[in-house]
Structure 1
Amino acid sequence: MYSKEEASKIRQQFWITFGKYMKPILSAEGLPIKWINYKTGIKHIYFRMNAEQHKAIISIEITHPNQEIRNLYFEQFKALKLLFTDTLNEEWNWEENAINELSVSLSQITKTLNGVSIFNQQNWPALISFLKPRIIALDQFWTDVKPIFEAIS
């Protein structure tokens, strides 16, 4: 078991490693991008990557405090589900009404990889292999659909 400080350092080292690995990869628009802190440009819509003790998760989180607007965004994502699935080349889990670890209501679209740990450095290649193609594909998808969300925000 790791102390909080040790666990924090391991997490930090993983994300530094991931960031260095992703740095030479340009966005779908051919521009440099900070993959770890991906900016969607739409308030309350986030692309998140998380690696934990037993799993890794990549997600789209819609956190608008107004449930009607959050539902509108989620419905728009659902209307684009075929394009999303074609771009990501896999099925993801869609939850219109979820609650995160901070008890915040949100809608989310997630993909999880179980059986890996950020605390096992031997799992880092699997974590990177899971996160890398998905965040790149999310960027491609977002490049195609962002104008739709700008029009409704």
Structure 2
Amino acid sequence: MYSKAEKAKIRKEFWTAFGQYMKPVPNADGFRTNWQNYKTGVKDIYFRMKAEREFTSVGIEITHPDLELQQLFFEQFESFKKSLESELGEKWNWELHKEEEFGKIISRIHKIKSGVNIMDQNDWPTIISFLKPRILALDSFWCNFKPAFEEL
């Protein structure tokens, strides 16, 4: 097994490699983007990528502490569901008001790929191949629909 320091080092190496791989890729507006720490520009809406020991995932997280406003954001995404799924080219999981690992209630729209392990460097190409097209598709969707969320 890995020590805590070894796990942290491997994770940092993965996200550095991912960042270097994605660095030359412009966003939908043609600008440079910090892909691994994507800024949506709308408070309480995040695009999150995770790489763990049993899975990798990418998705939208809505973290507003007011659950009614969190639901309003979620319903706004639902109103654009066809456009989002068209951009993504696949269906994602939609979860309203779920408790996350730290006990906070969030809503998320996400896709998970099981059977990959960030600790295994041989899985890194598979993880990156999973994350890259999906974060690019989210960016493309966001480029067109962000104004609808800024008004909420």
Aligned to 1:66: 66
Q: Does 1:83 align with 2:87?
A: no
Structure 2: gaps of 5 or more residues: none
Aligned to 1:114: 114
8 A Cα contact 2:67 2:97, kept in partner: no
State TM-score, norm by structure 1: 0.99
Give the RMSD, CA atoms, in angstroms.
0.4
Which residue type is aligned with residue 14 of structure 1?
F
Q: Where in structure 2 are the equivalents of 1:30-45 lying within 5 Å? A: 30-45=30-45
After superposition, give the CA deviation of every residue in 1:69-94 in whole Å (9 maximum; x if it has no partner).
00000000000000000000000000
Give distance in 2, aligned partners of 1:60 and 1:80.
13
Which residue type is aligned with residue 100 of structure 2?
N
SS at match of 1:15: helix
Give distance in 2, aligned partners of 1:84 and 1:75.
13
Aligned to 2:131: 131
Identity of aligned residues (%): 51
Aligned to 1:2: 2
Give distance in 1, aligned partners of 2:128 and 2:80.
27
Structure 1: gaps of 5 or more residues: none
Structure 1 residue 99 displacement after superposition = 1.0
8 A Cα contact 2:62 2:106, kept in partner: yes
Give distance in 1, aligned partners of 2:118 and 2:33.
23
